[in-house]
Amino acid sequence: MSLFPPLGLGEAIIFELRQGPREMNDLIKALHARGQRVTKQGVYKAVRGLRGQEIVFLQAGEVSLSLRWLERLENFVSLTQRSYVDSSVGAGHFLNLTDGERILYTFKNPVSLDAFWNHVLYLLFEAMPELDRWYAYASHCWFMLARGKEERALYRFMNKRDVRVLYTVGHQTPLDHLVASHFDGRMTQYHMLERPLFSERRNHLGLVINLLGDFVIQAEYDKKMTEAIESFYKKHRAVDAENLRELEAIVSTPTRTKLMITRNKSKARKLVRLFEKHFYFGDK
């Protein structure tokens, strides 16, 4: 996947797509309106080139920018800004946290939190290329069911960087067993506990944790949403289109959620010791 489009027509096409997807005929008209002397064949050739670079999608005559490319571009800008701008200017950014510091983000719905969370992970992996493992803990890995496309893309991204995915869940329901099929047992590993952890915490079933190096990322989901997810896992033994829509509706319901990012070497190591005993670390 290329980061920068070719100059000329490719750049002009991306500029036209900044407001949203365009039908090919509308795109050609917009280019003409901007003074671009282009032919229909030339635009199609340029779009095919951008599609080959995974910068745009072309489906049923409609052209749109690739969200994955936009994420990579945003990551590049964020990391570059971190390198060139005085750190005091962006002191609120999680990449600037020092040991013992933390930052809290709040969101209006779980989907927004999940999208930002993935952005955080992509940035951390770019900023710390030495990372070789990612620990995750949740009551259930509902992300693989309700947000499967995004979750699998994240795992592929990590595996390409030689990062192991090490996921622990707190239950052994039929749906928890079902999710195990998405893990290969080597670069992506999955462990089901007999009972959830952190039971001393209020709403502990709504707690999701990620560990990357010295960073501890914790999300706390609304109690009502958590109870709905637990009910879903108790009610269903398999998934189909209908009950997946039910789960997607649960995790898309507007509700206040929060994400805390902490940089704490001692806390991170303590949590790693809690999880690492369940996983295999032989040759990759």
Domain edge (last residue) among 47, 65, 83: 65
Total domains in the chain come to: 2
| Res 173: pLDDT | 97
**Is the pLDDT score of 87 beyond 70?**
no
Q: Do both 26 and 140 map to the same domain?
A: no
Residue 195 lies in a domain: yes
Domain of 34 in residue numbering reads as 9-65
Residue 131 lies in a domain: yes
CB of 123 within 8 A of CB of 115? no
CB of 136 within 8 A of CB of 179? no
Q: Residues 135-181: pLDDT tens digits?
A: 999 999 999 998 888 888 889 889 988 999 999 999 999 999 999 99
To which H or E segment does residue 251 belong? helix 241-252
Binned at pLDDT 50, 70 and 90, residue 2 comes out as: low
CB of 124 within 8 A of CB of 212? yes
Binned at pLDDT 50, 70 and 90, residue 91 comes out as: very low
Residue 2 lies in a domain: no
Domain edge (last residue) among 46, 65, 84: 65
Task: List the end-to-end C-alpha distance of the chain, in Å, as a whole number.
Answer: 25
**Is the pLDDT score of 101 beyond 70?**
yes
Residue 166 lies in a domain: yes
Between 33 and 138, name the one with better pLDDT: 138
**Is the pLDDT score of 183 beyond 60?**
yes
Structure tokens at 74: 């945003």
DSSP string, 6-53: PTTHHHHHHHHGGGS-EEHHHHHHHHHHTT----HHHHHHHHHHHHHT
| Res 147: pLDDT | 85
Q: Tokens 């993935």: give the residue.
A: 118
Q: Do both 25 and 99 map to the same domain?
A: no
Q: Tokens 């959830």: give the residue.
A: 196
| Res 247: pLDDT | 93
Backbone torsions φ then ψ of 277, nearest 5 degrees: -65, -15
Residue 283 lies in a domain: no
Q: Residues 219-274: pLDDT tens digits?
A: 999 899 999 999 999 999 999 999 999 998 998 888 888 899 999 999 999 999 99
Q: Do both 44 and 151 map to the same domain?
A: no
Which CATH number goes with the domain that contains 83?
3.30.870
Domain edge (last residue) among 65, 85, 100: 65
Q: Do both 82 and 132 map to the same domain?
A: yes
- Which segment of 71-80, 91-100, 137-146 scores lowest on mean pLDDT? 71-80
Q: Do both 143 and 77 map to the same domain?
A: yes
Q: Do both 55 and 85 map to the same domain?
A: no
Strand partners, 282: none
Q: Do both 49 and 96 map to the same domain?
A: no
Structure tokens at 80: 């570059």
Residue 121 lies in a domain: yes
Q: Do both 115 and 253 map to the same domain?
A: yes
Which CATH number goes with the domain that contains 30?
1.10.10.10
Binned at pLDDT 50, 70 and 90, residue 85 comes out as: very low
Q: Do both 83 and 144 map to the same domain?
A: yes
Q: Do both 106 and 18 map to the same domain?
A: no
Q: Do both 137 and 39 map to the same domain?
A: no
**Is the pLDDT score of 84 beyond 50?**
no
DSSP string, 112-174: HHHHHHHHHHHHHHHH-TT--EEEEEESS-THHHHSHHHHHHHHHHHHHTTPEEEEEES---H
Query: Is residue 185 left, alpha or beta, with left meaning phi > 0 and alpha meaning psi from -120 to 50?
Result: left
Q: Do both 143 and 268 map to the same domain?
A: yes
- Which segment of 72-76, 105-109, 187-191 scores lowest on mean pLDDT? 72-76
Binned at pLDDT 50, 70 and 90, residue 86 comes out as: very low
d(CA 149, CA 157): 12
Q: Residues 5-26: pLDDT tens digits?
A: 666 788 889 888 887 888 999 9
**Is the pLDDT score of 90 beyond 70?**
no
| Res 282: pLDDT | 77
Task: Give CA separation, 148 vs 114, 134, 182, 190, 244, in Å.
Answer: 12, 18, 10, 15, 11
| Res 93: pLDDT | 74
Residue 189 lies in a domain: yes
| Res 74: pLDDT | 75
**Is the pLDDT score of 196 beyond 90?**
yes
